[in-house]
């Protein structure tokens, strides 16, 4: 063979080219796995974050709206009771304040339940003595006492209670929140509204616990959190499955593709070194890799024909 004779004369065969830079498998991993998965991860985490935010926003908004509605209901109820007390007191001028809590008809008007643990009471704006006193209450021990003595039971929250209680001076309505004793003795959030009884020195106070009205919303919040947690787990599971599937597909396809390219590269190197008998038998693809294999076959055939013609010409020249 001509190539062998040239090598015998001292020609140095060209060595196989060295792979430089980032390999094809690495590029495929970056383009078809890393970048798409990064985008999928970002979109998934954004979806989960939006779902949690929406769930929290709806639950919080519902709780706040329901609390506002409850306050409006308590305020409206206190106004109605104040009007009823006004009518009763005007029609019973002989009724003295010391007997408010013992007149059953008046007590049924002035002292009513609000919700489960809430109630209404009636107290008096102080006169010259400056003492605030309650004259109709569910607890008879509170009737007639100086209301400032409640500081011991209310503790640090007494200031909020006292601000609401005394805010009615000048005939104004007063409302707000303070910490009051629940039935179990613990301090809990209370909403209180004080409505002056028109034409009298008396005030109707209505107290209710907001949690009685917002308790159903808390149940909804728990259900929303559970739903968001389940959805998050499902999304993470789907995402994990997608990662594994894509990684497997990219790895399998990349391996098969690069193996074919490596095989063709080896064949081309052998041909470049003079091995014209190298056969391309492992490539049966009908894609670009198959076209590359056919091109190498044609190149191999062309080199064979060229060498055959060269030898024929040398033979004719030698014979002449």
Structural domains of the chain in order of their starting residue, each with its CATH number? 2-11+23-44+226-319 (no CATH), 70-214 (3.30.450.20)
Q: What CA–CA distance (Å, rounded) separates 166 from 176?
A: 12
pLDDT of residue 60: 63
pLDDT in tens, the chain (320 residues): 334 434 444 444 444 444 455 566 666 667 767 777 777 778 777 877 777 777 666 666 666 777 788 889 899 999 999 999 999 999 999 999 999 999 999 999 999 998 888 899 999 999 888 899 999 999 999 999 999 888 877 778 889 999 999 999 888 999 999 887 666 667 788 999 999 999 999 999 999 888 877 666 666 667 777 777 787 788 788 878 887 888 788 778 877 888 888 888 888 888 888 877 777 776 667 777 788 888 888 888 888 888 888 888 888 877 76
Contacts of 187 by beta carbon, 8 Å cutoff, 6+ apart: 155, 157, 179, 180, 181
| pTM of the entire predicted model | 0.55
Q: What CA–CA distance (Å, rounded) separates 9 from 31?
A: 48
Q: What CA–CA distance (Å, rounded) separates 127 from 11?
A: 125
Q: Which long-range contacts (CB under 8 A, 24 or more apart) does 232-238 make?
A: 232/48, 232/51, 232/52, 235/44, 235/47, 235/48, 236/44
Q: Residue 302, class by beta-carbon neighbours within 10 Å (0-12 exposed, 13-18 middle, 19+ buried)?
A: exposed
Contacts of 32 by beta carbon, 8 Å cutoff, 6+ apart: 246, 250, 254
Phi, psi of 231 (to 5 degrees): -60, -40
Task: Find the helix packing angle between 288-319 and 210-272, rounded to 10°.
Answer: 10
Q: Residue 156, class by beta-carbon neighbours within 10 Å (0-12 exposed, 13-18 middle, 19+ buried)?
A: exposed
pLDDT of residue 236: 82
Please report which helix (H) or strand (E) contains residue 163, including its range. Answer: helix 158-165
pLDDT of residue 218: 67
**Structural tokens at position 79:** 């106004």
Q: What CA–CA distance (Å, rounded) separates 247 from 254?
A: 10
Hey, how many other C-beta atoms are within 10 angstroms of the C-beta on 135?
21
Task: Answer yes or no: are the C-beta atoms of 123 and 205 closer than 8 Å.
Answer: yes
pLDDT of residue 215: 67
pLDDT of residue 261: 81
CA 221 to chain centre: 13
């Amino acid at each position: 063979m001509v190539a062998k004779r040239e090598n015998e004369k001292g020609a140095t065969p060209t060595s196989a080219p060295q792979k430089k830079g980032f390999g094809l498998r690495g590029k495929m991993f970056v383009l078809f796995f890393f970048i798409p998965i990064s985008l999928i991860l970002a979109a998934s985490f954004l979806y989960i974050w939006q779902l949690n935010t929406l769930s929290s926003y709806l639950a919080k908004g519902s709780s706040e709206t329901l609390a506002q509605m409850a306050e409006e209901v308590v305020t409206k109820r206190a106004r109605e009771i104040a009007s009823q007390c006004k009518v009763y007191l005007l029609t019973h001028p002989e009724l003295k304040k010391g007997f408010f809590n013992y007149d059953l008809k008046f007590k049924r008007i002035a002292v009513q339940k609000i919700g489960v643990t809430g109630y209404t009471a009636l107290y008096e704006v102080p006169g010259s003595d400056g003492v605030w006193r309650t004259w109709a209450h569910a607890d008879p021990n509170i009737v007639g006492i100086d209301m400032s003595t409640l500081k011991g039971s209310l503790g640090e929250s007494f200031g909020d209670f006292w601000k609401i209680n005394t805010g009615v001076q000048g005939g104004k309505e007063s409302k707000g929140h303070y910490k009051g004793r629940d039935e179990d003795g613990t301090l809990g959030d209370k909403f209180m509204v004080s409505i002056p009884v028109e034409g009298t020195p008396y005030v109707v106070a209505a107290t209710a616990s907001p949690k009685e009205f917002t308790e159903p919303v808390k149940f909804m919040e728990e259900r929303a959190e559970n739903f968001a947690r389940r959805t998050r787990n499902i999304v993470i599971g789907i995402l994990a499955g997608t990662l594994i599937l894509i990684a497997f597909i990219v790895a399998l396809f990349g391996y098969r593709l690069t193996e074919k390219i490596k095989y063709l590269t080896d064949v081309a190197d052998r041909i470049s070194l003079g091995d014209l008998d190298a056969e391309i038998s492992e490539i049966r693809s009908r894609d670009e890799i198959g076209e590359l294999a056919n091109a190498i076959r044609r190149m191999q055939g062309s080199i064979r024909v060229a060498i055959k013609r060269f030898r024929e010409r040398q033979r004719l020249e030698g014979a002449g």
